[in-house]
Amino acid sequence: MGRVSECTPLLNWLGPSPTAEIPRIFNWTGTLSDAQQNASKQMVSAVNDGKDLLVWAVCGAGKTEVLFEGIYEALLDNKRVCLAAPRTDVILELSPRLKKVFPDTPITTQYGGSEDRHTYGQLVLSTTHQLYRYQDAFDVMIIDEVDAFPYSYDPSLKWAVEKARKAQSSTIYLTATPDRVTQRQCAKEQRPFIQIPARYHRHPIPLPKFLWCGLWKKSLQKNRIPTPLKKWTALKLLHSKQALIFFPTVELMEKSLPLFQEMNPLIESVHSEDPERKEKVMSMRNGDIPILLTTTILERGVTIPNIDVAVLGAEEKIFTESALVQIAGRVGRSADHPQGDIVFFHYGRTGEMVRSLLHIDNMNKEARKRGLLHER
């Protein structure tokens, strides 16, 4: 809505909603895995019955494809659908995919500065902040990455979601890393949910390894890369294996960059305020950057087919169970490269580190128990 003060008038439309033509084209011919198909059916039922549903899907499960049939069913019933996410880059990535699947459906993409913000869409892709603009607007509300910042930290965004949905509506929550309260609710069957514990390519998620690296901050202060991390990095460079190295702060990362560039001048760093962030991520995807140092900004939403990952200072508070599961989820996402190396370099194990390992291991066990993994 731009800048708003106490004296700015805000108008609420009370007239009838615009009518939209029923979509005729559903342009998706892909195949869902058994786990995806089951989740898709559950979502269709929730949409038809006006119920809420949590979809708990591992990183790389293909949850976007799970949404297609439920969205189509809603559109056929002349329901208005919103797919919201906390981060703009997720919305920008989803927009062309959804427009291709539903080519004759009026679709708008809402984010700060969007040119669509004054147009009507039967299917609306929106950041959660833009939902302040809506009231009693949507029959189906889909919230992606419900555990992600800022949605998980800002109660006003949850209020905006409730305000934007109609009194009789469905809300579909998507997450790979539900918080512990939500996990307990699911374990006690206190809320409706469906789990997708396996990736679409039916390979287990690689488990992180814990590697002690001593007083790593002191090493950096002395302009030295901690020895275990330096050996790990040298091995990746030797075998031309791309890697992400996660740092707890921008300051530590920027101090480390010249040290890593002594190993290879093509190594780069990226963070949320980096003006070249998009270009660097694209260069990484194109294989032009061998190793990219990063903050938690790349814990989500970035898929690079064949990559290894390290976390320096995994014991730091910023590396929660959720963050570490997401970071580990960058590895092995491609069917051509389902394996990979993920190492948590630390000065001491934390409960968050251990819980992240157990989280991934339990998902693999659940997938194996259901027969969702390729047998070795």
pLDDT value of residue 141: 98
Average per-residue pLDDT for the chain: 92
Which residues, 6 or more positions from 225, have their beta carbon under 8 angstroms from its beta carbon? 219, 233, 256, 259, 260, 263
Which superfamily, per CATH, for 34-196?
Answer: P-loop containing nucleotide triphosphate hydrolases (3.40.50.300)
- Residue 376 predicted with pLDDT over 70: no
Q: Which two tokens stand for residue 195?
A: 């789990």
Report which of 325, 321, 320, 322 is spatially closest to residue 309, judged by C-alpha positions. Answer: 325
User: How sure is the predictor about 301, in pLDDT bands with cuts at 50, 70 and 90?
Assistant: confident
pLDDT value of residue 15: 67
Residues 33, 36, 41: CA angle, nearest 5 degrees: 125
- Residue 132 predicted with pLDDT over 70: yes
Architecture of the structural domain at 209-369: 3-Layer(aba) Sandwich (3.40)
d(CA 48, CA 170): 8
User: How sure is the predictor about 92, in pLDDT bands with cuts at 50, 70 and 90?
Assistant: confident
Buried b (16+ CB within 10 A) or exposed e, 146-177: bbbeebbeeeebeebbeebbbeebbbbbbbbb
**Residue 227: phi, psi to the nearest 5?**
-55, -50
The model's pTM is 0.87
Query: In the chain, which residues fall in CATH 3.40.50.300?
Result: 34-196, 209-369
d(CA 151, CA 132): 13
